[in-house]
Structure 1
Amino acid sequence: MNILDAAYWETRWQGQQTGWDIGEASPPLTHYLENVSDRTTRILIPGAGRAYEALYLHQQGYEQVFVCDWAPSAFNHLRQQAPDFPEEHLLVGDFFELKPPTPFDLLLEQTFFCAIDPKLRPQYVAKAADLLTDQGTLAGVLFAREFPFEGPPFGGTKAVYQPLFATHFDILTMQITPHSIPPRLGNELFIELKKK
């Protein structure tokens, strides 16, 4: 397996090898975000890539949106589309080493969990909980199937995810979303998890 470090992801961005990029905010996430009315909600999007969800939230008037990615090139799109997006909210670095001064209310998951080595998934769950306020929420999409190739992306199933996330979260929702883009329809689980 490739070493999935900052250099790996920057090379993928530089070489435009970004098959995970759907060119817009993820429809399951925008559908969910329609019900998040508090514009002061502190939101973190790890592995944000071109940050379509952050751009969507910024355009809707959310002021506390933070994005994290290893690859500096990932944020070029966001900077071009939203020059007024706060530069200090662009966190270039390792998700597992984030130490924000204030915890987040909501962590949005969109193609980050599937990009990390599956051995790191327990650490992801623990770090996500650590970054959230008491009763904070982790919401987003996970692939609902295994893949017949070496990742990333790395797949999984609801049966694998449930006990993994239950260590730190109460599972409010974990089901196939009807809002996926056509190529992913039936293959994405929408999750809404509340920190214990």
Structure 2
Amino acid sequence: MENSGEAPAIESSREIYLRLMTEDSTAEWEKKWEEGETKWDLGVPTPIISHLIDTGSLPNGKALVPGCGTGYDVLALACPDRYVVGLDISKTSVERSIKMFSTLPNAKYFSFLCEDFFTWESDGDFDLIFDYTFFCAFEPALRPLWAQLMDKLLKPGGELITLMYPIDDRIGGPAYKVSAYEYQKVLIPLGFEATSIEDNELAVGSRKGKEKIGRWKKTSTLHSIL
């Protein structure tokens, strides 16, 4: 075969997404919620988030919880000083959350949306994003796109909190194995600074010893090209 002299085309992040995230994969998540196969759903707010709220360690303003599931973390974070958007791809999950929580006293400080994080059109400007093991739920090839969207959604100076799990030697997924380095290699080039990466001492059950909490500050004002 002759060499045309042209460099091979580099597959864009969007092209990778369209190749990996099919209608079947979306239906699989919907089926899990319909059948109650949601072992990741604690039924209460994530302990580390409750701790950070109680100690006043989180920024106020506008917050996002992608892959929020039932939305207990959304409820915990929502307050007069912080409006929270809970995002999930499952219609069943979102409808249940709205039914369960829409009459709560703090309901005016949160909302639930049924959207695909990777195609969701948002004006961004979030002060805080909490990734509750969302990073491990999709194919590792999508992690650069995840980082680019976090960059797009956060305000300069905003904070991203990542609950890093599972840190182990498993093959395949979901959940796909992670490490602190996997986060660093996609976030740091976009201008994120790791302000802390620590073992999560409040990890629940079998997650103890397999989970870290990462806190990232967006220091750059430049968005990558999606």
TM-score range, shorter chain: 0.7 to 0.9
Q: Percent identity?
A: 25
TM-superposed deviation, 1:149: 4.1
Quote how far apart the aligned CAs of 1:117 are.
1.0
Deviation at 1:44, TM superposition (A): 0.4
Q: CA deviation at 1:77?
A: 3.9
Q: Following the alignment from structure 1 to structure 2, what is the Cα–Cα distance between the partners of residues 144 and 69?
A: 20
Q: Quick one: which of 208, 216, 219 aligns to 1:193? A: 216
Query: Which of 1 and 2 has greater Rg?
Result: 2
Aligned 8 A contact 1:28 1:140 in 2: no
Q: After superposition, give the CA deviation of every residue in 1:61-98 in whole Å (9 maximum; x if it has no partner).
A: 45511011111111244223321435983221111222
Aligned length: 194
User: Larger relative contact order (C-alpha < 8 A, sep ≥ 6)?
Assistant: 1
Per-residue Cα deviation, 1:37-74 (whole angstroms, up to 9, x for no partner): 665x100000000011011123x445511011111111
- Are the counterparts in 1 of residues 83 and 110 from structure 2 also a CA contact under 8 Å? no
1:55–1:78 CA contact under 8 A, matched in 2: no
Q: What TM-score do the two structures reach when normalised by structure 2?
A: 0.77
CA distance in 1, matches of 2:198, 2:173: 23
The TM-score with structure 1 as length reference comes to: 0.87
Residue 119 (structure 1) shift = 0.5
- The 5-angstrom pairing of residues 105-120 of structure 1 reads 105-120=127-142
Find the counterpart in structure 2 of residue 75 from structure 1: 94
Counterpart amino acid of residue 64 in structure 1: Y
| RMSD, aligned CA | 2.4
Displacement after TM superposition at 1:153 (Å): 0.6
Structure 2 residues without counterparts, runs of 5 or longer: 1-19, 220-226
Contact 1:107/1:139 (<8 A) preserved: yes
Indicate if the aligned counterparts of 1:44 and 1:66 stay in contact, CA closer than 8 A.
Answer: yes
Question: How do 1:1-196 and structure 2 match up within 5 A?
Answer: 3=22, 5-34=25-54, 35-36=56-57, 39=60, 41-58=61-78, 60-84=79-103, 85=107, 89-168=111-190, 169-196=192-219
CA distance in 2, matches of 1:22, 1:181: 9
| Residues 94 and 113 in structure 2, CA contact (< 8 A), matched pair in contact too | no
Quick check: 1:26–1:53 contact (8 Å CA) kept in 2?
yes
Structure 1 residues 1-34: Cα deviation after superposition (integer angstroms, max 9, x where no partner): 9957322211111111112112211111222233
* Range 186-195 or range 22-31, more displaced: 22-31
Q: Which runs of no fewer than 5 residues in structure 1 stay unpaired?
A: none
